């Protein structure tokens, strides 16, 4: 299995300055790329969380040379406070959250994240709990589905797409990702060449909906900031405008008065350079924002 380099690796290590830090919290460890980078850059130990047990298993193998310095826990990043409490930890020396999804999730059979392969309609990051996409679609009406597609996918054709999906469901023709993608494409008239597949925004919206990805993100940013020691930093990588908007305004609010001990380090988000995007095209939409607790 090829493990791609983590997005904005050098920027993350420079911002978090892990050398000599006792404990860095990787809230979304994924396959372990950022955790490995932090350990190689001098972090004494890293506590890593991830809600996806399958990618966490890959991370355990990847990080086996640092087994005495990397502790991995199956948990949603928004449950980090409970994890810290269980380990008797009040504060951390740095924290990272990479809000993207992994290549393994996109390419593994049976996950249902991609319209480029035929899979069941699942899309759960944590397959040990929660409803699958198929279960969620089974009892939703067209208006409610259109709202989901518009809100989370910023898709202007959401009404037509929702009606097409519901029609396919009612005709018993909506059991796989390819059938879902076909229902979306039928709703959008294609004129000329399209840079992205018409199903892209809808699949993003449904993935966010199934995994409740935006729920509690602002509270997470505030909560993890409150657990930083003086001089510690938080770095957050987002991949679409909805996430980035929440992160940007929450950081601004913290610095602007609700927490006077916080300083935002990134007036504009850090973006991957051309070389990184060429090596890893999926990095092109990444945005990195960071803050520091100064006292």
Same structural domain for residues 173 and 122? yes
Output the six-digit token pair for 12: 């993350």
**Domain finish residue from 155, 187, 211:** 211
pLDDT value of position 107: 76
Burial (CB count within 10 angstroms: exposed 0-12, middle 13-18, buried 19+), residue 124: buried
**Domain finish residue from 211, 228, 259:** 211
Which DSSP string corresponds to 228-282?
EEEEEEEEEEE-SHHHHHHHHHHHHHIIIII-TTEEES-SS-B---HHHHHH-GG
pLDDT value of position 194: 64
**pTM assigned to the model:** 0.92
- Would residue 256 count as lying in a domain? yes
Same structural domain for residues 207 and 117? yes
Confidence of residue 3 (pLDDT cuts 50, 70, 90): low
- Would residue 167 count as lying in a domain? yes
Confidence of residue 295 (pLDDT cuts 50, 70, 90): confident
Q: Judge whether residue 270 has pLDDT over 90.
A: yes
Q: What is the pLDDT of residues 43-68, one digit of tens each?
A: 999 999 999 999 999 999 999 999 99
Give the domain range for residue 24. Answer: 9-99+214-293
Cβ neighbours of 116 (radius 10 Å): 14
Rounded mean pLDDT of 102-121?
86
Same structural domain for residues 84 and 221? yes
Q: Judge whether residue 22 has pLDDT over 90.
A: yes
Q: What is the pLDDT of residues 130-182, one digit of tens each?
A: 999 999 999 999 999 999 999 999 999 999 999 999 999 999 999 999 999 99
pLDDT value of position 51: 95
Find the CATH number of the domain harbouring 152. 1.10.150.170
Same structural domain for residues 94 and 220? yes
Greatest mean pLDDT range, 1-15, 180-194, 272-286 = 272-286
Same structural domain for residues 77 and 121? no
Same structural domain for residues 93 and 219? yes
Same structural domain for residues 198 and 261? no
- Would residue 64 count as lying in a domain? yes
pLDDT value of position 48: 98
Same structural domain for residues 93 and 223? yes
Same structural domain for residues 270 and 242? yes
- Would residue 105 count as lying in a domain? no
With a CB cutoff of 8 Å and minimum separation 6, the contacts of 85 are none
pLDDT value of position 85: 97
Q: For residues 162 and 112, what is the distance between their CA atoms, to the nearest angstrom? A: 19
- What's the number of domains the chain is made of? 2
Confidence of residue 104 (pLDDT cuts 50, 70, 90): confident
Rounded mean pLDDT of 238-254?
95
Q: Judge whether residue 262 has pLDDT over 70.
A: yes
Same structural domain for residues 180 and 40? no
Rounded mean pLDDT of 33-39?
97
Find the CATH number of the domain harbouring 266. 3.40.50.150
Higher pLDDT, 258 or 233: 233
Same structural domain for residues 133 and 199? yes
pLDDT value of position 193: 57
């Amino acid at each position: 299995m090829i493990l791609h380099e983590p997005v904005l690796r050098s920027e993350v290590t420079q911002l978090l300055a892990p050398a000599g830090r006792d404990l860095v919290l990787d809230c979304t460890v994924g396959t372990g790329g950022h955790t490995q980078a932090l350990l190689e850059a001098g972090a004494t130990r890293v506590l890593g969380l991830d809600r996806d047990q399958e990618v966490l298993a890959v991370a355990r193998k990847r990080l086996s040379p640092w087994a005495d310095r990397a502790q991995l826990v199956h948990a949603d990043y928004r449950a980090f406070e409970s994890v810290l409490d269980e380990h008797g930890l009040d504060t951390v020396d740095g924290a990272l959250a990479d809000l993207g999804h992994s290549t393994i999730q996109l390419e593994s059979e049976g996950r249902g994240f991609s319209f480029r392969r035929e899979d069941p309609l699942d899309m759960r990051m944590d397959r040990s709990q929660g409803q699958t996409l198929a279960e969620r679609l089974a009892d939703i009406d067209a208006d409610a589905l259109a709202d989901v597609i518009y809100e989370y996918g910023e898709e202007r054709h959401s009404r037509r797409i929702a009606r097409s999906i519901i029609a396919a469901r009612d005709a018993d023709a909506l059991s796989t990702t390819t059938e879902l993608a076909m229902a979306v494409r039928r709703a959008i008239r294609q004129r000329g060449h399209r840079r992205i597949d018409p199903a892209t925004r809808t699949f993003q919206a449904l993935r966010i909906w199934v995994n409740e990805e935006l729920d509690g993100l602002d509270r997470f940013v505030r909560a993890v900031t409150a657990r930083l020691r003086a001089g510690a930093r938080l770095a957050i990588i987002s991949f679409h405008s909805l996430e980035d908007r929440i992160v940007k305004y929450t950081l601004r609010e913290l610095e602007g008065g609700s927490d006077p001990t916080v300083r935002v380090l990134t007036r504009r988000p850090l973006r991957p350079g051309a070389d990184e995007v060429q090596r890893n095209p999926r990095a092109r939409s990444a945005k990195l924002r960071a803050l520091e607790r100064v006292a």
